[in-house]
Amino acid sequence: MSIYDVKSMGNTIKGNPYVGRGIVIGKSEDGKNAVIAYFIMGRSENSRNRVFTIKNGDVFTEPFDVSKVKDPSLIIYSAVRTYKNNLIVTNGDQTDTIYDFLCIDKCFAKALFTREFEPDAPNFTPRISGMVTFNNNDFTYQMSILKSIDAEGSDCARYFFDYPAKKGLGHFIHTYVTDGNPIPTFQGEPERVTVPNCIDEFASDIWENLDQNNKISLYVRYTDLQTGEIKEKLINKNK
């Protein structure tokens, strides 16, 4: 098996009960679209009580049943925001941190050096983030994971990845390896995955292969690099 092997998202996640929250960024096979996907999973009642909503082009997590919300701090946040030619996607309120830093001409990495993993011992859920930067009818993208350096959560290790956009290639980063107690955090570089031309095909490949019991919501966006036209697909298990 080569380190350059590329698998479909379906084959990457199929049969895995819990990859947690996941971000995919890449370019469609025909080179026409910048593509992002973000999904959430959950094991507890509090985590599963969520839906994605779109407001003014941004994506938010919101409670499905407000009466059942126990702790909103780590489950309710802006997941996708746009600042000028940058598209931000993360698994927590660091979306707003990155946005605020861009507003004062500071970068993705500097923003994330002010943040760390989530304070949900013993899992210490990693913060995963991505940002697409559009330029000259093309784009580059960055990804990051912030995770505990040890089982005690004594400090934060920060990893950053920078990519040129290549036809048909995406990178997939997620919070967990699989289910467990505590849940093992993601290891290594973002995984290489294929990115098809059709948004419905891509969304279906992800949604249908996420664990039926633990999947919650999925958002996929295709941005035409020539026209800027946006296509979106949003799926909520809670309807």
> In which band, very low, low, confident or very high, does the pLDDT at 160 lie, cut at 50, 70 and 90?
very high
The number of CA neighbours under 13 Å toward the Cβ of 127 is 29
Please give the average per-residue pLDDT across 130-148, as a whole number.
Answer: 98
38 within domain boundaries: yes
> Is 226 exposed, middle or buried (CB count within 10 Å of its CB: 0-12, 13-18, 19+)?
exposed
Any idea what the CATH number is for the domain that residue 19 is in? 3.60.20.20
Element (H, E) at 46: helix 45-48
Domain count for the chain, please give it. Answer: 1
Report which of 44, 7, 4 is spatially closest to residue 183, judged by C-alpha positions. 44
Domain encompassing residue 90? 9-236
45 within domain boundaries: yes
Which is more confidently placed, 181 or 72? 181
Please give the average per-residue pLDDT across 30-35, as a whole number.
Answer: 98
Could you tell me the pTM of the whole model?
Answer: 0.97
Residue 203 Cα distances to 119, 122, 127, 159, angstroms? 31, 32, 23, 27
191 within domain boundaries: yes
> Is 219 exposed, middle or buried (CB count within 10 Å of its CB: 0-12, 13-18, 19+)?
buried
2 within domain boundaries: no
62 within domain boundaries: yes
> In which band, very low, low, confident or very high, does the pLDDT at 83 lie, cut at 50, 70 and 90?
very high
3 within domain boundaries: no
194 within domain boundaries: yes
Confidence (pLDDT) at 180: 95
Q: Which amino acid is at 224?
A: D
Q: pLDDT by residue (tens digit) across 218-238? A: 999 999 999 999 999 999 999
